[in-house]
Each structure stands twice: as C-alpha cells, then as structure tokens.
C-alpha cells in the first residue's frame, strides 16, 4: 500500500500488487544479456576513466575492438603484426604451450610480464602485507640486488637476507601500459592479479625519492625519464588509479619473510657496522688497527695481572 498526497491536500492510497512487482523484476532479469565466459574485452570503468581519460584512449595504436576502426590509428596495424612476429613470438608460443589463450592486445602485454611457470599463493594469503621501503630495508640489513636474468617482472626472490628483483625499465609509457593491464585484471583476472600485486609491492619499495635513487644506483630500476622523483611518484599514481583485488596475494610469503627479517635486531646492527666502519678501505684499516690495539692492551693487562 502506497500513500500519496492529493491535490486537495488529502491523503490518497494506491494499492500495489506484490506479485505484479515480482513478475516485473523477473521479466527484467530474464531480458538481461548473458555474459559469456569467453568475454574478455571490457570498457574501462568510468571511475578509472574520470581520473585521466587519456591514459586509456590509444593515441598511436589501437588496443581491442573499441578503437580498432579509428582512421588515425590504422597506420600501426602492420607494425603490430611485425612486432608480434618477431620479438613477442617466442613469449607467446611459450605461454600457449602451457595451456593459455591470448585474448587481445592488453592481454598480450600482461602475458609478456608473466613468468612461464605461474606462482602459487600459499594458504591464508588473502592479505596485502605492507613492507618497509627500499632505504629502510637496507638499514635493517637486507641486501637489494638486481636479479641476474629473468623474462618476468614477477621473479622476485628473497633468500638469506638478499632480495633479488628483476630489472625494471621505467619509460614515458610505463604508466599507460600498467594502468591498462591493471584495469584488465580488475575485470577479468581479479583472482590472479599478478601485475596488481607486483605494482603494490613495488609501490611499497619506492615510497620516496631516496628509494628510487637507491634502486637506480643498484641497477634494479633503469630510469628513462631522467628524474628519480618522477619514478617515485609514478608508482603512487599507478597504484592510486587502479583497484587491486586480493583473493590470493602472490608476494605474501616474501613480504612476510621480509618483515620477519627486519624485526631481528642483530641484522640491523650488522648492517650499521658494515656501513659505518667497513664502507671504505681506510675505514676498514682503521677499524682493524683499533681492534688489534684493544686486543694487545687486553693481553698486556692480563699478563701484568698474572705477574703479580
């Protein structure tokens, strides 16, 4: 029963049939188009597009069917095929051989960043764990090194106090590529958000300009933009413009191990000693001389005491 105000100021009542309302909703739901399981091309959600539309609108090459017929983008169609045939062909074959299917261009970009053997998250990993930034990790005794060779950004390893990270090249199109991959993951790979987890992990590491300088100096990041402040800001922007889902955080074990290592005081003391007293050859010689002098003084004191 619905109450309405009449023109003469009196209240009128209108009867609404619950059965008719239920039937109406049922009919509307039955008329909804079916979402096919193979559907994988999505429009960028308005919330993402509102932040910066040009990130998701192709300027040179079309990505997916929504922009495929734009005349200003046709010149790159032939180059896309050439690139696919040469540099990406090996990676594509490798991925297809392990039973996966390439769905479209952004999916191809995502595949090129994945390892051939996908990681398996441990149990109880539905949590994004924060870690210290790069400078704080160094101060806590963690060594940060560039991984020798890897085809995937996700091959991050932590063993016996050494964190190895594959080379990351940061260029002008880094944000554009990452944002588009993250939107694809939020729509289609929300359970396996590998790239989203990588971005979250790196955003923790590259928190301030000093972190970017440190990782660039160690060869972990190759900066094509020329400014470490831009590199630090870039990760924060990418992280802020995309949703990251966490059914399984694939860097959970590494993050947990890093935090546990940083909580051991002796690791920090050892790192401080190396940094303050063993950083330069003359400092090592001076420290060694002082230690020897202390030992000799102690031995002399003991000999004098025993003589009495």
Residues 140-163 have pLDDT tens digits of 999 999 998 777 888 899 999 999
Beta bridge partners, 221, equal 168
Note the pLDDT of residue 215. 94
Note the pLDDT of residue 271. 65
Note the pLDDT of residue 254. 92
Closest CA to 161 of 183, 185, 138, 127: 138
pLDDT category at 301 given cuts 50, 70, 90 is: confident
- Residue of 119 and 253 predicted with greater confidence: 253
Burial of residue 196 (number of CB atoms within 10 Å: 0-12, 13-18, 19+): buried
- Residue of 130 and 281 predicted with greater confidence: 130
Which pair of tokens denotes residue 33? 């188009």
Note the pLDDT of residue 45. 73
- Residue of 140 and 39 predicted with greater confidence: 140
pLDDT category at 186 given cuts 50, 70, 90 is: confident
Type and span of the H or E element at 145: strand 143-146
- Residue of 295 and 203 predicted with greater confidence: 203
Note the pLDDT of residue 267. 78
Residue 145 neighbours by CB under 8 Å, 6+ apart: 162, 163, 164, 165, 218, 220
State the average pLDDT over residues 251-266: 91
Q: Please write the tens of the pLDDT for every residue from 209-232.
A: 999 999 999 999 998 887 777 888
Note the pLDDT of residue 98. 52
Note the pLDDT of residue 11. 52
**Percent of the chain scored above 90 by pLDDT?**
19
Looking up tokens 């998250």 gives: 121
22 pLDDT exceeds 90? Answer: no
Note the pLDDT of residue 2. 46
Note the pLDDT of residue 3. 47
pLDDT category at 127 given cuts 50, 70, 90 is: confident
Q: Please write the tens of the pLDDT for every residue from 231-248.
A: 888 887 776 665 666 667
pLDDT category at 71 given cuts 50, 70, 90 is: confident
255 pLDDT exceeds 80? Answer: yes
Residue 117 neighbours by CB under 8 Å, 6+ apart: 98
95 pLDDT exceeds 60? Answer: no
32 pLDDT exceeds 60? Answer: no
CA–CA separation, 222 vs 71, rounded Å? 35
Alpha helix locations (H) across 52-130?
Answer: 77-85, 89-97, 105-111
Note the pLDDT of residue 77. 73
- Residue of 243 and 177 predicted with greater confidence: 177
Residue 162 neighbours by CB under 8 Å, 6+ apart: 142, 143, 145
Note the pLDDT of residue 1. 47
State the average pLDDT over residues 182-205: 86
What is the pTM (predicted TM-score) of this model? 0.67
CA–CA separation, 135 vs 214, rounded Å? 7
Burial of residue 258 (number of CB atoms within 10 Å: 0-12, 13-18, 19+): buried
What does the mean pLDDT of the chain come to?
Answer: 75
Note the pLDDT of residue 305. 67
Note the pLDDT of residue 256. 92
3-state DSSP assignment of residue 158: strand
């Amino acid at each position: 029963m619905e109450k309405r105000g009449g023109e003469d100021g009196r209240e009128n009542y209108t009867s609404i049939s619950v059965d008719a309302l239920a039937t109406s909703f049922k009919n509307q739901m039955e008329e909804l188009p079916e979402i096919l399981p193979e559907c994988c091309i999505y429009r960028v959600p308005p919330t993402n597009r509102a932040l910066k539309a040009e990130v998701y609108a192709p300027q040179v090459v079309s990505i997916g069917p929504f922009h495929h017929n734009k005349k200003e983008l046709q010149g790159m169609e032939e180059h896309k095929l050439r690139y696919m045939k040469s540099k990406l062909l090996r990676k594509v074959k490798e991925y297809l051989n392990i039973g996966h299917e390439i769905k479209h261009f952004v999916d191809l970009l995502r595949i090129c960043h994945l390892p051939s053997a996908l990681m398996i998250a441990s149990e109880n990993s539905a949590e994004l764990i924060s870690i210290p930034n790069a400078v704080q990790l160094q101060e806590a005794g963690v060594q940060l090194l560039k991984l020798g060779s890897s085809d995937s950004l996700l091959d991050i390893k932590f063993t016996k106090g050494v964190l190895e990270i594959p080379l990351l090249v940061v260029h002008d199109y880094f944000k554009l590529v990452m944002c588009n991959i993250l939107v694809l993951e939020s729509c289609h790979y929300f359970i396996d958000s590998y790239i989203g987890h990588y971005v979250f992990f790196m955003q923790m590491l590259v928190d301030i300009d000093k972190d970017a300088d440190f990782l660039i100096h160690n060869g972990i990041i190759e900066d094509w933009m020329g400014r470490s402040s831009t590199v630090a800001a870039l990760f924060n922007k990418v992280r802020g413009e995309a949703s990251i889902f966490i059914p399984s955080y694939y860097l959970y074990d590494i993050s947990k191990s890093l935090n546990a290592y940083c909580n051991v005081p002796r690791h920090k003391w050892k790192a401080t000693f190396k940094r303050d007293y063993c950083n330069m050859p003359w400092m090592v010689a001076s420290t060694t001389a002082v230690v020897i002098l202390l030992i000799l003084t102690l031995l002399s004191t003991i000999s004098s005491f025993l003589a009495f």
